Amino acid sequence: MNSSARLSFAVAALLAVASFGFTPAHAGYPEISVEAPLFLSWNSCHGSPGAAGNLSYACDGSLDGNPRHLVVSFQLPTNYPPFTWESSTIYLKARTLDGSALPDYWRIEGIHVPFLLPALCRPGLGLVESGAGVVDPNHCPSWWQNRTAFDGIARPDRNELADPATNDMTIEGAMFWSDVDGGRGAVTFPGGAKLSDGAFTLELASNGCGGCDQPMSIEIVRLDLDTNAITTSGAYPHYILTPGSGSSASVTWQGGGGGTVPVRNRTWGSVKATYR
């Protein structure tokens, strides 16, 4: 990573700490909200070998230092116009299945910037954009198509966690390329393409924080996509995807299983006219 890219990353990290996430690069850009099939699974991309809707763990320290992946993927309802740079922001909601207060084990901090704020009970949230299971050429190729310089920040909403009685927490993961990959050229995807957006990594070591055995539900709230695809207004669109028909956007921890989100169907047909 060159010096300007490192500086950009450092500034983004500080902004993330100050305001719970990135200051939106899409400020002032047209927002396009649409329901789409969104998928969340443990271990591997949804539909690929090893993907699971539930993860159970004995909380005995046997997996310390062996983080697990929460893989996020999505399906495009229609053709995506060509672009040469991209970023994404994922919002997850984790909650106790029985409605009890969120245990200390889930008062978890991002591993990239815990030194900038008073620590929560334990560090453990990270992000990856590729790797075994995260990207599968047959089931979910990467949204990040051949990027070689990548960064990301995963953080909880600390305002929610300030309430000791809260039973849920929002987790934000902002992923972005940290330098221009010369020679990659423009990328486009056809309608119906199922793509991996990467994965949250979850360290399992308790670090003395109780509640590892608490059954939890984790679901995708929304997925934001930013690219430099140009609309008829001459602006870059900011897509906000929420779980639509065909989604399997939730998983569980210590019990039950993830499932389909039953919502009405909507496509991007009405959006096509915004492109040149």
pLDDT at residue number 140: 92
Residue 12 lies in a domain: no
Tokens of 255: 């019990």
Mean pLDDT of 150-166: 89
Instruction: Check pLDDT > 50 for residue 276.
Output: no
pLDDT at residue number 112: 65
Residue 4 lies in a domain: no
Q: For residue 136, how many other CB atoms are within 10 A of its CB?
A: 22
Q: Which domain holds residue 142?
A: 35-267
Each residue's pLDDT tens digit, 254-263: 985 444 333 3
Spatial distance between the Cα atoms of 223 and 73, rounded to a whole number of angstroms: 10
* Structural domains counted in the chain: 1
Tokens of 146: 């051949």
Residue 5 lies in a domain: no
Helix-strand-coil percent breakdown of the chain, rounded to 5?
10, 40, 50
Spatial distance between the Cα atoms of 259 and 145, rounded to a whole number of angstroms: 28
Residue 77 lies in a domain: yes
Quickly list DSSP for 10-73. Answer: HHHHHHHHHHSSPPPTTTTSPEEEEEE-EEEEESS-TTSTT-BSEE----SSTTTT--EEEEEE
Each residue's pLDDT tens digit, 172-199: 999 887 555 555 678 889 999 999 999 9
- For residues 244-266, one letter each, b for 16 or more C-beta atoms within 10 angstroms of the residue's C-beta and e for the rest, the string is bbbbbbbbbbbebebeebeeeee
pLDDT at residue number 23: 37
Residue 29 lies in a domain: no
Candidate from 69-78, 118-127, 143-152, 243-252 with smallest mean pLDDT: 143-152
pLDDT at residue number 110: 86
Spatial distance between the Cα atoms of 228 and 113, rounded to a whole number of angstroms: 28
Q: Which residue has the higher pLDDT, 23 or 213?
A: 213
Tokens of 248: 């399997």
pLDDT at residue number 94: 97
Query: Number of C-alpha atoms within 13 angstroms, CB side, residue 167?
Result: 11
Give φ, ψ of 214 to 5 degrees: -70, 120
Instruction: Check pLDDT > 60 for residue 49.
Output: yes
Instruction: Check pLDDT > 60 for residue 86.
Output: yes
Query: What percent of the chain stands above pLDDT 90?
Result: 51
Residue 179 lies in a domain: yes
Residue 27 lies in a domain: no
Are 125 and 171 within 8 A, CB to CB? yes
Residue 166 lies in a domain: yes
Spatial distance between the Cα atoms of 53 and 56, rounded to a whole number of angstroms: 10
Exposed, middle or buried: residue 110 (CB in 10 Å: 0-12, 13-18, 19+)? Answer: buried
Global pTM? 0.83
Are 73 and 196 within 8 A, CB to CB? yes
Instruction: Check pLDDT > 70 for residue 249.
Output: yes
Mean pLDDT of 94-122: 84
Instruction: Check pLDDT > 80 for residue 248.
Output: yes
Contacts of residues 55-58 at CB distance under 8 Å and 24 or more positions apart, as own/partner, are 55/251, 55/252, 55/253, 55/254, 56/253, 56/254, 56/255, 57/204, 57/212, 57/253, 57/254
Which is nearest to 41 in space by CA: 263, 219, 255? Answer: 219
Which is nearest to 72 in space by CA: 219, 197, 193, 203? Answer: 197
